[in-house]
Structure formats: C-alpha cells, structure tokens
Structure 1
C-alpha cells in the first residue's frame, strides 16, 4: 500500500486491527484510491482475480457512498469519480459526444480540464471555473 498511496503500513498488525483508525487519519484522496486498491487485491485461494467477489465489492460501493452522502461514483473496475447526480452525468456524457470532432478540440480540452478539476480529491472548483469561463488558452497558439 505504501508504494501505491505513499502512506505507512504497520507490519506487525493485521489490517483489521487498525482499519477504523487508519481510515479516520488518511486524506480523502487516499481513501478514494483505497477503494480501487482493495478491488485489485481481491483474489481467490489460488491467487487469481476473483471476478465474482470483485463484482460484489463494486456493487456495494455505491450503496456505501449513498449512505454516507458523498458525491462519488464507481466504475466497473472500482475507479472512483466525482459525480453530482444522474442528470449531471448524462449531460457530461452527451457534451463529450457533441465535442468529438476535430473542430472542437480546444473546447473539448477545456471541458476535460474542468471535469478533471472537479474529479480531484478534494474537487478544485476554482480550476473548473477557470477552464469553463476563461477559454482563451484553448484558442491561442
């Protein structure tokens, strides 16, 4: 875990012994990354990826996020992404589809920059607004 998140691991303790205390101390970005890391470590007894268990894990994460009232979604490989609501996601996907042509490359880049800023942990609203309302760099050079 230290190589993935850059946080300490305590070698003399089992994960369950300090799980709750550990989660209370880490940064939000590390907590969100740990969802993906947990998914990647789910294996069967032979050390192969256990797809059924991984799918169960992925299916449980949105329920937990909903219970905790956090605005994140999880993809089919346990990648965690910022999400406002279903309509926001629908609009985002349709906007990306419309900006698919080469003519809209600069605008598409700004759109991705804004979404990437919102998808950070914590979200960077200032950078998202700059990408949305100050598009001069998309058309220069």
Structure 2
C-alpha cells in the first residue's frame, strides 16, 4: 500500500473526479484529453495551496512560458485567455445594443463570454452570428442573414 502524501491525496482526488488513473504516480504523465488536463490543473490548484506557495501563480507562469491561451481564476478554474481589447470590444458592442429593437442581438452577444469560459467556441461563434443576424433583420427588415439578402439589402 502506498504511503499517504499530499501527492497521493491529489492523485486520488483527480482519479475520483475525472476517472483518470493516477494510482501509479510514476514520472510519466498519462495521456488525457485537453478538457481532462484543464480539469486536472484546476484540481491541482485547489488542493495544493496548503502544500506549495501560490499554485495559481506557478501554473499561470507555465501557461505564459508555453504561450498557452489560458488563464486561471482566483480558485484555479481554467479559462480561455481573453485579452483586454477583446473584452472591451465585446462589452462596448453589448452596450451599443441597448435599444429595445436589439434585445435579441444583445442577449446573443451576452452568450459569447460564457461559451468561451467553458471552451465552447462553437457556441461562441453561433452567438456572434445570431447577434449579427438579429441586427441585420432589424436594420433591413430581412427574414434572415444570407448572401442573397446581403447582396440585395446592402
């Protein structure tokens, strides 16, 4: 039986949370999906703060050094790294759609960041398209946003 250590505790918790077997605790990291890896990072950050100094800062440093487009929240949750300009542009676009006619477009844009927060780029892209289509429908009275409508109305 393996002696109890913080490493064993974290490995057991990871195994129980995401179903990846870390029982061997060898030097090689097992192959896992990106989603599982990011979950492992979160679990590591949450559980290791009592064993090492500032695990979130340590993981953030690795993400920066490896040019990964992820950042960590205060409690170790992994998120897409969204630069300040993207965030500012998104908020400005949402604010610009404050008129009652653009409620659907605004609500669509408000779905972009939550989709990116859970690595769902497909839903983020759909939300942007939905917003563009809603604005197009309001501005031009069209029934949809398509190539023929754009050619006709713009």
TM-score normalized with structure 2 length: 0.58
**Number of positions where the alignment pairs a residue of Structure 1 with one of Structure 2:** 120
Greater Rg over alpha carbons, structure: 2
2:42 maps to: 36
1:69 maps to: 67
Over 3 Å counting, the alpha-carbon distance change for 1:96 and 1:39 in structure 2 is farther
Relative CO higher for 1 or 2, CA cutoff 8 Å, sep ≥ 6?
1
1:89 maps to: 87
Q: Are 1:8 and 2:4 an aligned pair? A: no
Over 3 Å counting, the alpha-carbon distance change for 1:97 and 1:106 in structure 2 is closer
1:130 maps to: 126
How far the C-alpha of 1:2 sits from its partner, in A, is 2.8
1:47 maps to: none
2:115 maps to: 117
Structure 1 residue ranges without an equivalent (≥5) = 45-49
Work out whether residues 71 and 82 of structure 1, in 8 Å CA contact, stay in contact via their aligned partners in 2.
yes
Structure 2 residue ranges without an equivalent (≥5) = 1-13, 135-154
What are the superposed Cα offsets for residues 84-120 of structure 1, whole Å, 9 maximum, x if unpaired?
423223444x449848x8x686545423432233333
1 CA distance for matches of 2:107 and 2:49? 38
1 CA distance for matches of 2:72 and 2:86? 15
1 CA distance for matches of 2:39 and 2:17? 9
